[in-house]
C-alpha cells in the first residue's frame, strides 16, 4: 500500500507544506539557526494547511488539492511580496561550534538518529490503527477529507457522542489538508506526518540549544533524550495528537525563553505561532500556554520594565489560545464535557475531591512513578548536581502541568483510577521533549555560552 | 571530587537514556520492519497481519462488503458486539463518509448491517461475510 505511490505523494505534500511554512517562518526567524528555521517552517506550514482547509471549507469552497495548492502559492507569494520589517540585530546571535566536532555530540546525534528510525519504520509500516485514531483524530480527518468540508455531524451527530467533539482540530485539519494535497486519503502514507513532526521536534531542540548555549553537545543530547522517549514515539501514537502536542510544547518553550531573553517582533510572532499550535493540538496545550504565561510573569519578579515585557509575552500566550477557543466554539457550538464532573469543585464536593485527589496522586506515584523510578531518580540527581540554566523556567511549568493532570483525573466522570491507568503515561510523556530541553541546557558549561546570553532565570 | 562532579551529570543522563532505551519493545519494531520491507519489495500483506484488525480480521471483510453495497451518502446502522468499543469506532471510520448509526438509531438508517450475530436474517437481507445487510 505504501509502496504504491501514496508515500511519495504524501512526501510531496509535506514538501509543499514545509516550503510554504518556510516562506512564512523566515519572517519569524531572523536570528535563528537554519535547523531552528527548518522546524519553525514545519510548524508554520502545518498551521497554514489547517487554516487553508478550514477557511475554504467554512466558506463553502471545496478544499481539494488544486485549491489548497493555489492557497499555498498565494501564501508563498504574499510572504515574499509584502514588505516586512526585518529584525535589525540578532538578540541572541547564532554561535558557531568552536574547534573539532565533539565526540559526545556525535554519539548523542547518532543515538537520536537511531531512535528516530525506531519510530519511523513501525509508524509507516501499516495503516494507522490506534483506537484514538479511529475514534477521534482519524475519523474526523477522514470525514473532512472525503466530504471536502467541515461536516456538521462530527460536532452534532448524537451517534458520534464518543468522539470528543470538544477536542481542537489542528490534527484532523492537517490530515485532511495533506490528504487533499496528496490526492486522496491514504491512512498508511499519511502516517509519515508523525515521524516528520518528531523530526521537527528534534531539530528544534538541537538548533535552539546550540544557539542559546553555544554547545552542539547540549543540543544533540536534548535531541537524543527526546527521541528515546519510546512511550511517546510509539506506533500507537501515529495518528493521534500526542506527538504534535509534544512539538507544540517545545515550540512554546523555545519561543517563551527567547521572549524572556530579548523580546522582538519575531519573538512575539513565534510565541503567537507556538501558542496557536499548542492550543490547536490538544486541550492540554491551552493549559501549557497559560502556565508559561504565569511563569513569565513570576520570572519578571513583578517589577519594572521586566514586568511590562513579561505582560506582552504572557498576553500573547493567553490571548491566542483564548481566540482559538472562541473560534472553535463558534464552529462546533457548546459541547458538554462528559469526561469531567465539575460539581466536585463546589464546596459540597470538596471532601470527595480531596479523597479522590489523594487516591490519584498515590496511584500516579506508586504505579507510574515506580515503573519510571530509575529515570526519575536520575533526573532528580542530575538537577541537584548541575547548575541552573536558561531553561529552568520550564521546570515549575512542567510540574504544574502534571499537577493539573492529577486534578483533572480527580474530577473524572469515570473511575479516576481507570483514567490514570489509561491516560496518564500517554499524556505525561508528551512533556518529555520539553523536559529534555531543560536537562540538556544544564550540560552547557559557562565557556560554551555566547557572550551576553547569561541565564536570566 | 571535582572529577566526580564533572563526570556525574553525563553519567546520570546516560542512565536516563539507557532506562528510556530499555522501554522499547522489539515486538513493536521488528515485525513491522519486516512488514515494511516486504511491502517495499512489492509483496502483499494480509489483513490478519495488520494491528488495526488484530482483534478480529474478519470484521474488515464485513466492512468492505458493507461499503461496496451501500452508497457513500447512505445512513447505515451497523450492529456490532457492544464490547470492545473498537468495533463501533472501526465501523464509523471505515464506512466514512456514510453516516454510521448504532442499534438505538435504526429508525434513522437506510440500511442495517448486522455482524456476527446469531439472529434471524430479515426478509430480503443480503448475506455478508459473517453477517448480513438489509435495506429498510
Secondary structure of residue B100 in the 3-state scheme: strand
Exposure letters B87-97 (e unless 16+ CB within 10 A, then b): bbbbbbbbbbb
Indicate which of A124, A140, A159, A229 best probes the interface with B, i.e. most B CBs within 10 Å of its own CB. A159
Q: Which one of B9, B10, B89 has the shortest CB-CB distance to A131?
A: B89
- Split at pLDDT 50, 70, 90, the class of A324 is very high
Site of grid cell 455531524? A153
- Split at pLDDT 50, 70, 90, the class of A98 is low
The three three-digit cell numbers of residue A37, written as one number? 528555521
Flag whether pLDDT at A452 surpasses 70. no
Query: CB A146 to CB B97 under 8 A?
Result: yes
- Split at pLDDT 50, 70, 90, the class of A182 is very high
Q: Are A301 and A311 in contact (CB under 8 A)?
A: no
Asked, as a colleague might, if the bond just before B84 is cis with ω within 30 of 0, I would say yes
**Which candidate, B21, B79, B10, places its Cα nearest to that of A111?**
B21
Secondary structure of residue B101 in the 3-state scheme: strand
Measured between CA atoms, how close is B93 to chain A, in angstroms? 5
Query: CB B100 to CB A159 under 8 A?
Result: yes
The three three-digit cell numbers of residue A260, written as one number? 524572556
Query: CB B21 to CB A228 under 8 A?
Result: yes
3-state helix vs strand vs coil in chain B, percent to 5: 50, 15, 35
Q: What percent of chain A has pLDDT over 70?
A: 92
Flag whether pLDDT at A91 surpasses 50. no
Query: CB A111 to CB B17 under 8 A?
Result: yes
Exposure letters A392-412 (e unless 16+ CB within 10 A, then b): bbbbebbebbeeebbebbbbb
Mean pLDDT of A237-250: 98
Q: Which of A54-68, A413-427, B75-89 has the lowest mean pLDDT?
A: A54-68
Asked, as a colleague might, if the bond just before B97 is cis with ω within 30 of 0, I would say yes
Measured between CA atoms, how close is B111 to chain A, in angstroms? 15
Mean pLDDT of chain A: 90
Query: CB A225 to CB B13 under 8 A?
Result: yes
* Residue B45 with chain A: CB contacts under 8 Å: 1, 126
DSSP A167: S
Say what the pLDDT of residue A303 is.
73
Mean pLDDT of B107-127: 78
* Residue B5 with chain A: CB contacts under 8 Å: 385
Say what the pLDDT of residue B118 is.
52
Q: Are A210 and A33 in contact (CB under 8 A)?
A: yes
B111-115 vs B75-79, strand pairing mode: parallel
Mean pLDDT of A64-69: 83
Separation of alpha carbons A423 and A242, rounded Å: 11
Q: Which one of B33, B49, B105 has the shortest CB-CB distance to A122?
A: B33
Site of grid cell 523510578? A373
Flag whether pLDDT at A262 surpasses 60. yes
The three three-digit cell numbers of residue A361, written as one number? 496522586
3-state helix vs strand vs coil in chain A, percent to 5: 75, 0, 25
| pLDDT digit string, tens, across residues A153-172 | 999 998 898 999 999 999 99
Exposure letters A416-435 (e unless 16+ CB within 10 A, then b): beebbeeebbbbbbbbbbbb
Mean pLDDT of B33-49: 89
**Which candidate, B121, B50, B37, places its Cα nearest to that of B90?**
B50
Mean pLDDT of A50-58: 91
What are the phi and psi torsion angles at A258 (to 5°)?
-70, -40
Q: For helices A65-81 and A34-58, give the axis angle rounded to 10 degrees.
A: 130
The three three-digit cell numbers of residue A27, written as one number? 519572517
Query: CB B89 to CB A126 under 8 A?
Result: no
Say what the pLDDT of residue A457 is.
37
Residue B80, C-beta contacts closer than 8 angstroms, at least 6 positions apart: B59, B87, B88, B91, B115, B116
| pLDDT digit string, tens, across residues A13-37 | 999 999 999 999 988 888 899 999 9
Q: What percent of chain A has pLDDT over 90?
A: 72
- Residue A164 CA: distances (Å) to CA of A182, A326, A335: 27, 17, 9
The three three-digit cell numbers of residue A293, written as one number? 504565561
The verdict on B46 touching A (C-beta cutoff 8 Å) is no
DSSP A411: T
- Split at pLDDT 50, 70, 90, the class of A449 is low
Nearest CA in chain A to B88: A135
* Residue B33 with chain A: CB contacts under 8 Å: 121-122, 125
- Split at pLDDT 50, 70, 90, the class of A84 is low
SS3 annotation, B4-57? HHHHHHHHHHHHHHHHHHCCCCHHHHHHHHHHHHHHHCCCCCCHHHCHHHCCCH
Nearest CA in chain A to B48: A126
Nearest CA in chain A to B26: A118
The three three-digit cell numbers of residue A63, written as one number? 478544499
* Residue A153 with chain B: CB contacts under 8 Å: 99
Query: CB A143 to CB B97 under 8 A?
Result: yes
Neighbours of B31 (CB within 10 A): 15
B99-101 vs B75-79, strand pairing mode: parallel
B112 membership: H or E segment, kind and range: strand B111-115
Flag whether pLDDT at B5 surpasses 80. no
Say what the pLDDT of residue A96 is.
54
Q: What is the DSSP string of A99-136?
A: SSPPHHHHHHHHHHHHHHHHHHHHHHSS----HHIIII
Nearest CA in chain B to A105: B10
Say what the pLDDT of residue A194 is.
98
Q: Looking at the DSSP assignment, which residues form a beta bridge with residue B78? A: B113
DSSP A2: I
Q: Which one of B17, B50, B86 has the shortest CB-CB distance to A134?
A: B86
Q: Tell me the torsion sign for CA atoms B53, A236, A173, B89.
A: positive
Nearest CA in chain B to A223: B17
Site of grid cell 504505579? A367
What are the phi and psi torsion angles at A165 (to 5°)?
-65, -15
Say what the pLDDT of residue A404 is.
96
Mean pLDDT of A79-101: 60
A274 membership: H or E segment, kind and range: helix A265-281
Flag whether pLDDT at A351 surpasses 80. yes
Say what the pLDDT of residue A309 is.
86
Q: Tell me the torsion sign for CA atoms B45, B49, B55, B56.
A: positive
- Split at pLDDT 50, 70, 90, the class of A431 is very high
Rounded to an integer, what is the distance from CA A30 to the centroid of its chain?
22
Flag whether pLDDT at A88 surpasses 70. no
What are the phi and psi torsion angles at B115 (to 5°)?
-115, 135
Residue A342, C-beta contacts closer than 8 angstroms, at least 6 positions apart: A411
Amino acid at each position: 500500500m505504501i509502496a504504491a505511490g501514496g508515500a511519495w505523494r504524501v512526501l510531496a505534500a509535506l514538501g509543499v507544506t514545509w516550503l510554504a511554512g518556510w516562506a512564512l517562518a523566515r519572517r519569524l526567524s531572523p536570528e535563528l539557526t537554519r535547523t531552528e528555521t527548518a522546524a519553525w517552517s514545519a510548524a508554520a506550514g502545518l498551521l497554514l494547511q489547517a487554516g487553508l482547509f478550514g477557511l475554504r471549507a467554512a466558506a463553502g469552497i471545496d478544499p481539494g488539492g488544486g485549491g489548497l495548492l493555489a492557497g499555498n502559492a498565494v501564501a508563498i507569494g504574499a510572504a515574499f511580496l509584502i514588505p516586512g520589517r526585518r529584525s535589525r540585530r540578532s538578540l541572541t546571535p547564532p554561535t558557531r561550534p568552536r574547534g573539532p566536532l565533539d565526540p559526545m555530540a556525535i554519539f548523542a546525534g547518532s543515538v537520536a538518529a537511531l531512535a528516530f528510525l525506531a519510530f519511523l519504520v513501525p509508524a509507516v509500516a501499516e495503516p494507522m490503527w490506534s483506537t484514538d485514531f479511529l475514534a477521534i483524530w482519524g475519523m474526523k480527518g477522514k470525514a473532512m477529507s472525503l466530504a471536502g468540508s467541515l461536516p456538521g455531524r462530527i460536532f452534532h451527530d448524537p451517534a458520534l457522542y464518543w468522539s470528543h467533539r470538544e477536542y481542537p482540530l489542528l490534527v484532523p485539519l492537517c490530515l485532511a489538508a495533506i490528504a487533499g494535497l496528496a490526492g486522496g486519503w491514504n491512512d498508511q502514507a499519511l502516517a509519515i506526518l508523525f515521524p516528520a513532526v518528531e523530526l521537527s521536534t528534534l531539530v528544534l531542540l538541537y538548533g535552539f540549544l546550540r544557539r542559546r548555549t553555544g554547545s552542539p553537545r547540549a543540543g544533540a543530547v536534548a535531541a537524543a533524550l527526546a527521541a528515546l522517549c519510546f512511550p511517546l514515539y510509539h506506533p500507537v501514537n501515529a495518528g493521534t495528537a500526542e506527538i504534535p502536542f509534544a512539538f507544540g510544547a517545545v515550540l512554546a518553550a523555545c519561543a517563551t525563553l527567547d521572549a524572556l531573553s530579548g523580546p522582538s517582533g519575531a519573538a512575539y510572532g513565534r510565541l503567537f505561532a507556538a501558542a496557536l499550535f499548542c492550543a490547536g493540538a490538544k486541550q492540554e496545550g491551552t493549559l501549557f500556554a497559560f502556565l508559561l504565561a504565569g511563569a513569565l510573569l513570576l520570572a519578571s519578579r513583578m517589577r519594572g520594565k521586566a514586568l511590562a515585557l513579561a505582560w506582552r509575552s504572557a498576553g500573547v500566550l493567553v490571548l491566542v489560545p483564548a481566540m482559538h477557543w472562541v473560534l472553535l466554539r463558534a464552529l462546533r457550538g457548546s459541547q458538554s464535557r462528559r469526561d469531567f464532573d465539575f460539581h466536585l469543585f463546589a464546596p459540597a464536593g470538596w471532601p470527595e475531591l480531596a479523597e479522590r485527589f489523594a487516591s490519584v496522586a498515590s496511584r500516579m506515584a506508586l504505579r507510574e512513578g515506580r515503573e519510571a523510578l530509575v529515570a526519575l531518580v536520575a533526573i532528580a540527581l542530575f538537577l541537584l548536581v548541575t547548575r541552573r540554566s536558561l531553561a529552568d523556567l520550564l521546570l515549575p511549568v512542567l510540574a504544574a502541568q502534571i499537577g493539573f493532570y492529577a486534578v483533572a483525573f480527580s474530577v473524572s466522570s469515570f473511575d479516576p483510577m481507570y483514567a490514570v491507568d489509561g491516560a496518564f503515561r500517554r499524556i505525561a510523556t508528551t512533556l518529555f521533549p520539553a523536559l529534555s530541553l531543560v536537562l540538556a541546557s544544564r550540560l552547557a558549561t559557562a565557556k560554551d555560552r555566547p557572550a551576553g546570553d547569561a541565564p536570566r532565570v | 571530587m571535582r572529577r566526580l562532579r564533572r563526570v556525574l551529570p553525563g553519567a546520570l543522563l546516560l542512565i536516563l537514556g539507557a532506562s528510556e532505551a530499555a522501554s522499547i519493545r522489539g515486538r513493536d519494531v521488528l515485525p513491522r520492519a519486516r512488514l515494511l520491507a516486504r511491502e517495499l519489495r512489492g509483496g502483499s500483506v494480509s489483513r490478519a497481519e495488520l494491528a488495526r484488525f488484530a482483534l478480529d480480521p474478519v470484521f474488515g471483510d464485513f466492512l468492505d462488503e458493507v461499503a461496496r453495497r451501500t452508497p457513500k451518502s447512505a445512513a447505515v446502522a451497523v450492529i456490532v458486539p457492544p464490547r470492545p468499543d473498537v468495533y463501533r469506532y472501526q465501523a464509523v471510520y471505515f464506512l466514512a463518509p456514510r453516516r454510521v448509526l448504532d442499534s438505538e438509531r435504526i429508525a434513522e438508517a437506510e440500511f442495517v448491517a448486522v455482524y456476527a450475530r446469531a439472529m434471524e436474517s430479515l426478509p430480503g437481507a443480503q448475506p455478508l461475510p459473517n453477517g448480513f445487510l438489509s435495506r429498510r
